[in-house]
Structure 1
Amino acid sequence: MSNSHLFLKSGFPRAPLANGIGRYVCQLQRITLKYCKNNGSSKGMREFLENDLVDFSRANPGTVVYVKPRRHRTAVMSAEYLNGEKQWINCRNMTREEIGKWVELLRTQAGAAGEVRLRKLWHTDIPSIQGAWTPFTHQHPSANTVNLPSEELSRLQVKDKTATERLLELYRAQKASSGEKSDS
């Protein structure tokens, strides 16, 4: 077993800034698309810029899009998120559709670092000081010393009438007051 997980960032799984509670805020702050105007490996990026970039920009007005031509370099896209994280993707020899899928993936991510060691699978901002609830939380302490199976604990302990019994009584009373004969 390796200990490489010890060098990862550690944290709790949580939505950034309680995102989605109330309203959704896209976490992608800016995306930079870098390409070469005449290099063959940037062909897919050039096609994406010509055909799909304007639609993406109109659909996502909260995201700033930078287009940066560079000579004799491969196509690259870099994304910056509201929490300060940055992601970089090499787009060498990618098609227009592949670049569109990567841009959509970057748009929908929360910007968390790629690999995070989770300390727990759940997290709460306000932990309870009473402890975790169990089925035995509100049981009488005498139930701890009873030998099981027990006739005493197996019986249905109903002090009041059930809701069904109360509804049947109300129904019968209503029928009797209206002069009809009860069917039970």
Structure 2
Amino acid sequence: MSAKNIFLKPGFVRAPLQNGVGRYVCQLQRIVLKFCKSNGSSRGLRDYIEQDLVDFAKENPGVVVYLKPRRHRGPVVVAEYLNGDRVWMNMHNKTHSEITKWIDVLRTQQGDNSTTRLRKYQYTDHPSIQGPWTPFTFKNPALNTAELPNQAYGANDRLPMSATEQLRLMFEAQKLGKNEELKTAE
């Protein structure tokens, strides 16, 4: 095992703000497009700004878009997320379609997880080499090819009577007993 991740900040994998439980919250907070008005390497980003940026802003009203023209610099896209992460991407000599795809990737992810050393909630000194236990670990493999419903695998007559069923039978017997007492009294 390598120790290259020992200097990264530790963190757990979790859904940000329980995203998807109630409603979806876009994690991208702001995106900054830095480009040169005359440099040839910024052509793809300039094409994206001219053709697709207005549509992107209309489809994503929760994302703030900044344009930052810079002289004699390469094109850069900086995305800032709700959890404080910043992702910096160089767009040098990328085409309009490539930039469209990369901006969509930045829009749908939750930040840069490569700077976090992932931790687990459980720890053991002797991890299992057989894999985790599941409810199907010790099941009979004949269940995989069985024709269901099958009396051999799921017969309910072998189960003990439930308390509800016992109460129902006692009530019916009590009701029948009262009816018989009324008939004999007449």
Quote the residue 1:69 is aligned against: 69
Is the partner of 2:74 in helix, strand or coil? coil
Q: Deviations over 1:50-91 (max 9, x none)?
A: 111011000000000001111000000001111111110000
Report the counterpart of residue 39 of structure 2 in structure 1: 39
What is the identity, as a one-letter code, of the residue corresponding to 2:9? K
Q: Residue in 2 aligned with 1:118?
A: 118
Partners of 2:64 and 2:134 in 1: CA distance: 49
Q: 1:119 Cα deviation (Å)?
A: 1.4
Deviation at residue 157 of structure 1 after TM alignment: 5.9
The offset of 1:113, in angstroms, is 3.3
Runs of at least 5 residues in structure 1 that lack an aligned partner in the other structure: 123-132, 136-155, 162-184
Deviations 1:8-33 (A, max 9, x none): 22221111111111001101010000
Q: What does residue 11 of structure 1 align with? A: 11
User: What's 2:160 paired with?
Assistant: 159
- Give the aligned partner of residue 60 of structure 1: 60
Closer, same or farther: CA 108–157 of 1 in aligned 2, 3 Å: same
More helix by share: 2
Per the TM alignment, residue 99 of structure 1 is displaced from its structure 2 partner at its CA by 0.6
Aligned to 2:103: 103
Q: CA deviation at 1:134?
A: 8.8
Name the amino acid aligned to 1:160. M
Q: Which residue of 2 aligns with 1:140?
A: none
Q: What RMSD in Å do the two structures reach over aligned CA positions?
A: 2.3
CA displacement, residues 116-159 of structure 1 (integer Å, 9 cap, x when unaligned): 2221278xxxxxxxxxx997xxxxxxxxxxxxxxxxxxxx9632
2-structure distance, mates of 1:118, 1:87? 18
Q: 1:54 to 1:117 in 2, by over 3 A?
A: same
Give identity over the alignment, percent.
60
Count of residue correspondences: 131
1:75-90 equivalences under 5 Å are 75-90=75-90
TM-score, normalised relative to structure 2: 0.65
Aligned to 1:153: none
Structure 1: how far apart are the matches of 2:106 and 2:121? 24
Q: 1:121 to 1:90 in 2, by over 3 A?
A: farther
Letter in 2 for 1:101: K
3-state secondary structure, aligned to 2:114:
coil
Task: Provide closer, same or farther for how the CA distance between residues 89 and 134 of structure 1 changes in structure 2, counting only shifts above 3 A.
Answer: closer
Checking the alignment, whether the CA contact within 8 Å between 1:36 and 1:73 is kept in structure 2 is yes
Contact 1:13–1:121 (Cα < 8 Å) also in 2? no
Instruction: Give, in whole Å, the separation in 1 of the partners of 2:106 and 2:40.
Output: 24
Do the aligned residues in 1 keep the contact of 2:36 with 2:42 (CA within 8 Å)? yes
Offset, 1:112: 4.2
Task: Please report the TM-score for the alignment, with normalisation by the length of structure 1.
Answer: 0.65
